[in-house]
Structure 1
Amino acid sequence: MLAHHPQQLAAWHRGAGISAAQFYQDVAKLAAQLPEAGEVVNLCEDRYHFAVSFAAAIVRQQVTLMPSNNTPGAVNSLLIKSRDGYCLTDQLQQGIQARQLLYTELLNARNSDSIALPEQIEADRQVAILYTSGSTGTPKPNPKSWGELKAEADSALQRFPFLSRSVSSLVATVPAQHMYGLATSIFFPWQGGIAVHTGRPLFPADIAADLALTSAPRVLITTPLHLRACLDAGISWPEISFIISATAPLSRELAAEAEQQLQTEIYEIYGSTETGSIASRRTLKDECWTLYDGIEMEQQGNQTYASGGHLPHPVVLNDNIEILTSGRFRLLGRNNDMLKIAGKRASLGDLNQKLLAIPGVIDGVFIPPENPNNEKQRLSALVVAPSLSKQEVLHQLAQSIDAAFLPRPLHFVESLPRNSTGKLPREQLINFLKAIK
């Protein structure tokens, strides 16, 4: 299951190391305590608890369900269809109707036996079902096999300089209950012999402190939103070998500022819940993306398909893509983000990038009309920019976008309703907008 040797560190917890041998011991003990079931929702916030629970479920041949968010409603909607499903958590949550089992109680049970661990896991064993974020529609299930997740991690370890720089530690600001977090903070460390920090720091000072508690060379897994906050914090940072960002486009301006201030390299991952990560770029050096070895793209009509590599079958991508040569492509925006107002066209993603590029804008988003075919409707926008006025933001936008796409209205807010991975599900965004009108 792990690429680590027994005494090698597999995790960092409050500055202390946890060996691979201890990990295996905890997995064996927890697996013996799990109930007979086919499915489990892993709600553990501590990343080590999550990893042990995920591994124990695999040992017991239970499939881990990962809802688009960990709210009681989302969890209940999954488990209500399950005959014997349950939740494994490190903190009981109100509102969840299924039975909840506490990680620490199971692991420390007095009658705690252990179960023999398998020497290997079948590549085609289904170990998880992940659900889409809901930012483009109703969440849909995406089953993942052990072999698919392992092969994705192996490809990423070859693409990024994990091995060439002998990376020993990894800190992530994203939850493990998501495709990006599951791959980068669980499977990358498992397959790369890397010790992952057990926390999920959100604030810059906490991120810096957790990084400092791990051994170098270290890597940070994060999002553009967290990266922006880190740069604005004005604090000192420990050495970071490189940073990987995903969940939202990263502007060249932000990448340049981050590389200079943090004295590191910034890479982006391209992928989705359906595909996992399939391409990357170093944002400051290249606007185009390069596919992982073995991954191919082809276009049929208006749709682009990804296939090969760790993908068990071709997957339709939700993005507008220009395929180049040598496994490279240019990302032109999402298929559903082209706007037409007053006979003019613009990409919603491009508008958001221009808004976020304004000095003084901490966060912001354009909100398209609910009926995209009605050219008479205007765009709205939400912006977090405490040092700017509405007129200043509109003036800056007018320098780079057509007047037809200037937001009317433009709302100033304290923060945006982003989820734990930094995304803005459309339904939640619309409800937020209605509440402030």
Structure 2
Amino acid sequence: MALLTALSQTPDERPDAIRVAGRSISGVHLWESASAVADRIRGMDRIAVVATATLETVVGVVGALLAGVTVVPVPPDAGPMERDHILRDSGAEAVLAPVGVAADGGDLPVVPVSLRARSASRHPEPADDRPALILYTSGTTGLPKGALLSRRAIAACLDGLADAWCWTPDDLLVHGLPLFHVHGLVLGVLGPLRLGGRLDHVGRPRPERYAAAGGTLLFGVPTVWSRVCADPSAARALRSARLLVSGSAALPVAVFDGLRALTGQRVRERYGMTETLITVSARADRAPVAGTVGWPLPEVETRLVDEHGVPVPADGNGMGELLVRGSTLFDGYLNRPDADTAVRTDDGWFRTGDIATVAADGRHRIVGRASVDLIKSGGYRIGAGEVEEALLAHPAVREAAVVGVPDRMLGQQVTAYVVADGASEPELIDFVARQLAVHKRPRRVHFLDALPRNALGKVQKSRLG
């Protein structure tokens, strides 16, 4: 079966089938322009794409996939060091960029992408184990690593989400996420092209744009949903949507509750990584619970282990590292066998590095990263996320991040960084102590104007302290 099933079998003839930043084309037009790209690059192994939020990016990515050429998305705001590393490490042979736009491909040739170019060519479907994408991860140490994602893995992920979200060709997907990550590119572009339905990428994900699009299925990250929640008129316009989905970071309970009150919708959260694609998600046919990410997708298994590899019971309380295996996993890090070995067990499980709990009914809750979000203080194991939620319940607190700071007596000291108006450190420490066990309270609270975040809204805790 073709990776882009809907596009290849029944391309949408509606002129607004694909809309990006206010410009639209039909599925037929997309297919013909992408085929023209495929004609030009066929025979290459890997090609970089300057992943701007434009129709040309969509055409370029689709054209490469039609030709069986592996796509290497390059963030348009990447600095020279990051860009040069991605181009060099990936082995890209050329760079795709919109016609008329200057693209710095270093020594590589630049292949212009034009919506005016059309072709009626049909290219044979590549093998499903062929790498479709090399996505570079933003690790906490060293240069980014390239994760090899096969056509088979992407298809399994999207089919699993179609099952979980009841995703059909009747849906209009709306989002404004970057096109160089799993969320915006794989789910947000390749999803409609495989499963059917229209796409409206609104450019910058502003609340008024989400409200005006009239979508049935909407994707966002917590910062996007927080802004929507803060704009009641925009939020109320989403009452007619079928499903709101959040990912890439934990959605604060206050935002979940606020959106439910304004839109009547209970946001579905999902969990995944660049290396695993989406593995766990709340379902459209089951009521979501705030702070949880649902159940494994079809063909995905999960389990929890402690720091010694001993299984942790699925009782909703025991915390352990989440291990996953299944059809959505990547094929390894490009040129990094050492990194592969570090994240895989001998029996085929991928070590996510995330701490989670699993309830008796199989519902998953992500506590945080093992490296920064599992705090060992005074002999206790404390999940940073639980303390963050307690802080966010205070009316003065708008943002919160909790880390463990080395402490000679406790091992690690629970330390909070907050964006708040009119609250004092003792007040917030006491507030948390009244909601949680006393040993979970922050010992220190630091006040900031804003928390450091990356392009997907994830707090960069390595920059705190």
Give the TM-score band, short-chain normalised. 0.7 to 0.9
- Could you say which residue in structure 1 is the equivalent of 2:243? 242
Change (3 A) 1:107 1:181: same
How well do the aligned residues superpose, as a CA RMSD in angstroms?
A: 3.4
Q: Work out whether 1:189 is the aligned partner of 2:224.
A: no
Q: Work out whether 1:225 is the aligned partner of 2:223.
A: yes
- Could you say which residue in structure 1 is the equivalent of 2:31? 24
Gapped regions of structure 1 (runs ≥ 5): none
What is the deviation of 1:228? Answer: 1.3
Provide the rounded CA distance (Å) in 1 between the counterparts of 2:440 and 2:113. 59
Provide the rounded CA distance (Å) in 1 between the counterparts of 2:105 and 2:80. 5
> TM-score, normalised to structure 1's length?
0.82
- Could you say which residue in structure 2 is the equivalent of 1:334? 369
Q: Work out whether 1:142 is the aligned partner of 2:177.
A: no
- Could you say which residue in structure 2 is the equivalent of 1:262? 263
2:355 to 282, 304, 320: 320
- Could you say which residue in structure 1 is the equivalent of 2:455? 420
Change (3 A) 1:324 1:224: same
What is the deviation of 1:115? Answer: 6.9
Task: List per-residue Cα deviations over 1:16-62 (Å, max 9, x = no partner).
Answer: 65211011011022333449743333223225332211111223432
- Could you say which residue in structure 2 is the equivalent of 1:175? 178
- Could you say which residue in structure 2 is the equivalent of 1:406? 442
- Could you say which residue in structure 1 is the equivalent of 2:314? none
User: Contact 1:136 / 1:425 at 8 angstroms: preserved in 2?
Assistant: no
Alignment of 1:30-429 (within 5 A): 30-34=37-41, 37-66=44-73, 70-82=78-90, 84-90=92-98, 97=106, 99=108, 101=110, 105-107=112-114, 114=119, 116-135=121-140, 139-163=144-168, 167-209=170-212, 211-212=213-214, 216=215, 218-236=216-234, 237-238=237-238, 239-281=240-282, 282-284=287-289, 287=292, 289-298=294-303, 301-302=309-310, 304-311=322-329, 314-323=349-358, 328-336=363-371, 337-369=373-405, 371=406, 375=410, 378-386=413-421, 388=423, 392-401=427-436, 402=438, 405-406=441-442, 408-413=444-449, 415-427=450-462, 429=463
Provide the rounded CA distance (Å) in 1 between the counterparts of 2:391 and 2:74. 31
User: Contact 1:363 / 1:384 at 8 angstroms: preserved in 2?
Assistant: yes
Q: Which amino acid aligns with 2:434?
A: Q
| SS of the residue 2:160 aligns to | helix
Provide the rounded CA distance (Å) in 2 between the counterparts of 1:289 and 1:97. 44
Provide the rounded CA distance (Å) in 2 between the counterparts of 1:411 and 1:310. 40
| SS of the residue 1:270 aligns to | strand
What is the deviation of 1:185? Answer: 0.3
Q: Which amino acid aligns with 2:171?
A: S
What is the deviation of 1:394? Answer: 4.3
What is the deviation of 1:108? Answer: 6.1
| SS of the residue 1:3 aligns to | helix
> TM-score, normalised to structure 2's length?
0.77
What is the deviation of 1:266? Answer: 1.1
What is the deviation of 1:167? Answer: 3.8
Aligned-pair identity (%):
21
| SS of the residue 1:180 aligns to | helix
What is the deviation of 1:244? Answer: 0.6
Change (3 A) 1:47 1:260: farther
Decide which moves more: 312-321 or 42-51. Answer: 312-321
- Could you say which residue in structure 2 is the equivalent of 1:3? 6
User: Contact 2:48 / 2:92 at 8 angstroms: preserved in 1?
Assistant: no
Provide the rounded CA distance (Å) in 1 between the counterparts of 2:101 and 2:53. 13
Decide which moves more: 188-197 or 32-41. Answer: 32-41
What is the deviation of 1:306? Answer: 1.9
Q: Which amino acid aligns with 1:419?
A: N
Decide which moves more: 351-360 or 226-235. Answer: 351-360
Change (3 A) 1:30 1:205: same
Decide which moves more: 258-267 or 317-326. Answer: 317-326
What is the deviation of 1:224? Answer: 1.6
| SS of the residue 2:211 aligns to | helix
Provide the rounded CA distance (Å) in 2 between the counterparts of 1:180 and 1:57. 19
Aligned length: 417
User: Contact 1:224 / 1:245 at 8 angstroms: preserved in 2?
Assistant: yes
User: Contact 2:51 / 2:73 at 8 angstroms: preserved in 1?
Assistant: no
Provide the rounded CA distance (Å) in 1 between the counterparts of 2:141 and 2:258. 30
Q: Which amino acid aligns with 1:229?
A: R
User: Contact 1:33 / 1:107 at 8 angstroms: preserved in 2?
Assistant: no
User: Contact 1:250 / 1:283 at 8 angstroms: preserved in 2?
Assistant: no
Provide the rounded CA distance (Å) in 2 between the counterparts of 1:409 and 1:420. 26
What is the deviation of 1:338? Answer: 1.8
User: Contact 1:47 / 1:199 at 8 angstroms: preserved in 2?
Assistant: no
Q: Which amino acid aligns with 2:350?
A: V
Decide which moves more: 5-14 or 167-176. Answer: 5-14
Q: Which amino acid aligns with 1:27?
A: A
Higher-RCO chain (CA-CA 8 Å, sequence separation at least 6): 1
Provide the rounded CA distance (Å) in 2 between the counterparts of 1:380 and 1:107. 52
| SS of the residue 1:243 aligns to | strand
Provide the rounded CA distance (Å) in 1 between the counterparts of 2:408 and 2:276. 30
